[in-house]
Amino acid sequence: MSKQVAACRIDSLCLDANDPHRMAEFWAVALGWEVSARNAEVALIPTDDTRFGVLFESVPEKKVGQNNIHLDLTSTSIEDQLGLVDRLIGLGARHVDIGQREDEGHVVLADPEGNEFCIVGPGNNFLAGCGRLGAINADGTRPVGLFWSATLGWPLVWDQDEETAIRAPDGTGPLITWSGPPLMPKLGKNRLHLDIAPPAHVDHRDAVDRLVKLGASRIDVGQGDSVLIRVPGAAVLIDGGGSAFSDYDVGERVVLKALRALGVHSLAAVIATHPDTDHAEGLLTVLERLPVGLLVTGHELPEVTLDVRLRELARQRGVPVHVARRGESLLLGKGGALRLDVIHPSAEPVAKSLNEGSVAVVLNYRGVSRAVFLGDIGLPTEPFLALPPIDVLMVAHHGSRNSTGDGLLRAAGAKVAVISVGRNNYGHPAAEVVERLEEHGVVVLTTQQHGALRFDLGRPGAVLTVARRR
């Protein structure tokens, strides 16, 4: 009998913004909602019966072409409609022509960053009973509307001529509508999108599996490393992922969203193992958007652009930077329960490559060594690591054939190995590395196969309690 998984809920309507604060002030007037700015997160909180807010996500990209999603605002009278138009034009809106007819009674505007929206005239029966935010209007076919109806558990309130609309079962909040064919060309990532979340009692993995069965597609953003360590009183991020061959902002789109979903709004420390794009690029966004107590790095590399950018951004944000040295320990959490022991690099910079200069740390919790994180350290450096027996090995360099030798595996005695890897052209993980791990009796888990992995390291023997998430 298949498992029944409850429908998801809308967490936020997200809007990409070059200037989140200005956009929030504009849309607060447009919707009559309240601005909330907490820990560099800019959002609107509804003042009516809408069950979700608007989150403004900072992006550098300018808007290109007409949006595939726009908002329809309601009005109670001609005076209300025209008064709102005047107020919003005073805040930077402008009239735009998207092919609307003069007899439709809509006023079409663009906000200060060019996002189109409609202010619908009074007496519109379709939006009757809605608040100021009448509808989220999306370009899409009937199957898309049916998908979202099943995803959210919202019934269809309109289903005619390929046009569909859904609304919350209790009749609150806006409609979500799909206008049917012909469809506009999609010129890139939508600047408006919905963040959804499962109910508190539902595992994310089960919720994602349900969405895939309904027709959703998984998005592969490539490979990179990022590890979050949480103990009572502290959270530490080791690396932040990134992509050398894409402008996809892993920090914004993946890392920050994951931290937010986990309730992490500040970090006691961020460790940049080395300034390779797939490890450190995402940390730029993290440093920009979250309070961070300390940035830990390897030796300074003034010839490496990403290393320079990280240090300069930390300076601008008032985040202290510490160059890690073998033999040091970082104590965090209540009573210093979490200890991160640095086992590389040495005090003097001797590494001949970025990879071999990686910061490597052993996670020690309540006096027990539990895990090791090695960045991209390879075979030449492994013999110099003072590695204690541990439970979890974060395999270096995504399972490259030039890492994870027999000597390291004998010293570690790990029960589980995690290989952070995505679609790539490098052959990661190398078959010989996986075979070597298995020969040493290590259970091998890859993020490409299992998604994000969560380990309970709070008690010995718990490492095989794994929550697999995508």
Tell me: the pLDDT tens digits for 364-384?
Answer: 888 888 889 998 898 999 999
- pLDDT tens-digit readout, 30-59: 999 999 976 567 899 999 999 999 999 887
Which domains occur in the chain, in start order? 9-214 (3.10.180.10), 227-469 (3.60.15.10)
Q: What is the pLDDT of residue 111?
A: 97
User: In this predicted structure, what is the pLDDT of residue 253?
Assistant: 65
Task: Write out pLDDT tens, residues 192-234.
Answer: 999 888 887 777 667 777 887 888 755 444 556 788 888 888 8
pLDDT over 70, % of the chain: 86
Kindly tell me if the per-residue pLDDT of 244 is higher than 70: no
Predicted confidence band of residue 470 (pLDDT cuts 50, 70, 90): very low
pLDDT at 340 over 90: yes
Which position has the higher pLDDT, 113 or 427?
113
pLDDT at 469 over 80: no
The pLDDT of residue 426 is above 80: no
- Inform me whether the pLDDT recorded for 386 exceeds 70: yes
* Residue 379 exposed, middle or buried by CB count within 10 Å (0-12, 13-18, 19+): middle
User: pLDDT for 308-328, tens place per residue?
Assistant: 999 999 999 999 999 999 999
Q: Which residue has the tokens 């600047």?
A: 191
- State the Rg of the chain over Cα: 25
Question: Mean per-residue pLDDT for 425-449?
Answer: 82
The pLDDT tens digits for 266-300 are 899 999 998 888 788 889 988 988 899 999 999 99
